[in-house]
Amino acid sequence: MSIKYKPLKKIVYSMTETTLARVIESHQDRGWVQSSEIKEHGYGLGCLMTFTKNKQ
């Protein structure tokens, strides 16, 4: 029987595009998925990332 969990969501952000790309890449290495395009967030840039864990 498979249990479905509600996906976790977070906004990752940074002041520059190069730093944001590094942050996104490090999250993707840990299983997070980029769920939106990069947009202005506060004084910098950000995007939405989600993480889904299904227990079997």
3-class DSSP state of 15: coil
Task: Give the SS3 label for residue 36.
Answer: coil
Task: Say what the pLDDT of residue 53 is.
Answer: 81
Q: What is the pLDDT along the chain (56 residues), one digit of tens a residue?
A: 677 788 999 999 999 999 999 999 999 999 999 999 999 999 999 999 999 986 65
Report pLDDT for 9. Answer: 96
